[in-house]
């Protein structure tokens, strides 16, 4: 099996550190990323429990796993991530002050913001059951794609290879979807008027949507288009 070959190829490396880390049980809790300055305020309003979960808990682990697995697919979007961080911090602060049922950690998302945005996209468009099924297919197809790279003898980055061996379960993906939905409900409620205005604007726009019957390619392409479009929008680019 190609995934097994990938792990075997990694294990054949002479570097002892690489050999140890390439083990299928690679511990993603060891990976900790410093939050960008735009997200520092978000961390300040989280409860101690929620902040610890975002940095060390299950949401952090899943964020790192998915972030590594889908790394390199979505285009860089520095302007969008900066603007989103500021707005997310604002929402979190208002939610705390008004006792809104804040989703809690943004899925530890300052470690994998692109994944959080994908989760919100799926949660906005599909039902929970449909979104989780799509997540399961995305993870499965991504792993198969990486395995095909190995079959062709193409180089595979270590973090990507380590992510392939991780077991990402349906309950974990369901928790991710639930978190994204809770976050969207909170944000929509706090900015109810702005959200209604945005909904009206979007109804009158003809945005490009990826076609085709293949779920993986359609969702991935739509995700890339959405991130790229929003990054240009907040940057003031046409």
pLDDT at 5: 53
**58: helix, strand or coil:** helix
| Confidence check: pLDDT of 107 > 60 | no
Helix axis angle, 128-151 to 215-235, nearest 10°: 100
Task: Indicate the range of 30-34, 78-82, 197-201 predicted with least confidence.
Answer: 30-34
Q: Looking at residues 52-66, what average pLDDT do you find?
A: 73
Question: Between residues 51 and 127, which one has the greater pLDDT?
Answer: 127
Torsion of CA 121, 53, 161, 219, to 10 degrees: -10
The answer to whether 142 and 72 are in contact (CB under 8 A) is no
User: In sequence order, what DSSP letters do the residues of 162-195 get, joined into one string?
Assistant: HHHTS---HHHHHHHHHHHHHHHHHHHHHTHHHH
- Minimum mean pLDDT among 51-60, 143-152, 202-211: which range? 202-211
Q: Average of pLDDT values for 38-60?
A: 65
Q: How confident is the model at residue 18 (pLDDT cuts 50, 70, 90)?
A: very low
Domain segments of the chain: what residues? 2-235
Q: How many CB atoms lie within 10 A of CB 3?
A: 16
For the four alpha carbons of 112, 114, 118 and 120, in that order, the dihedral sign comes to positive
Residue keyed to tokens 């961080």: 85
Q: How far is the C-alpha of 158 from the C-alpha of 108, rounded, in Å?
A: 22
pTM for the structure as a whole:
0.76
Q: What is the pLDDT of residue 47?
A: 65
How many CA atoms, within 13 angstroms, populate the side-chain half-sphere of residue 201? 6
Q: How many CA atoms lie within 13 A of 88 on its CB side?
A: 32
> Distance between CA atoms of 65 and 50, rounded to whole angstroms?
19
What's the token pair of residue 192?
């109810």
Which residues, including other chains, have CB under 8 Å from residue 109's CB and lie 6 or more apart? 63, 88, 115, 116
pLDDT for 68-91, tens place per residue? 899 889 888 889 888 888 888 888
Question: What would the pLDDT profile of 138-178 be if each residue is shown by its tens digit?
Answer: 999 999 988 888 778 888 887 787 778 888 999 999 999 99
Please state the separation of Cα 232 from the chain's center in Å.
20
Q: How far apart are CA 119 and CA 179, in angstroms?
A: 9
Instruction: Report how far residue 145's alpha carbon sits from residue 198's, in angstroms, rounded to the nearest whole number.
Output: 36
């Amino acid at each position: 099996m190609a995934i097994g070959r990938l792990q075997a190829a990694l294990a054949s490396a002479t570097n002892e550190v690489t050999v140890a880390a390439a083990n299928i049980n690679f511990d993603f809790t060891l990976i900790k990323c410093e939050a960008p300055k735009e997200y520092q305020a978000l961390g300040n309003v989280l409860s101690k429990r929620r902040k610890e979960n975002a940095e060390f808990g299950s949401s952090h682990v899943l964020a790192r796993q998915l972030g590594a697995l889908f790394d390199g697919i979505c285009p860089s979007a520095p302007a969008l991530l900066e603007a989103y961080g500021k707005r997310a911090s604002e929402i979190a602060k208002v939610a705390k002050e008004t006792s809104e049922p804040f989703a809690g950690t943004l899925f530890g998302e300052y470690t994998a913001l692109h994944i959080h945005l994908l989760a919100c996209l799926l949660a906005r468009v599909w039902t929970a059951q449909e979104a989780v099924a799509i997540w399961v297919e995305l993870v499965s197809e991504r792993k198969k794609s990486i395995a095909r790279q190995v079959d062709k003898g193409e180089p595979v980055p270590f973090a990507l290879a380590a992510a392939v061996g991780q077991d990402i379960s349906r309950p974990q993906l369901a928790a991710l979807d639930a978190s994204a939905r809770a976050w969207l409900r909170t944000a929509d409620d706090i900015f109810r008027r702005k959200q209604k205005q945005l909904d009206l604007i979007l109804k009158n726009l003809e945005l490009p949507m990826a076609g085709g019957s293949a779920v993986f390619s359609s969702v991935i392409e739509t995700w890339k288009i959405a991130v790229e479009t929003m990054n240009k929008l907040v940057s003031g680019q046409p």
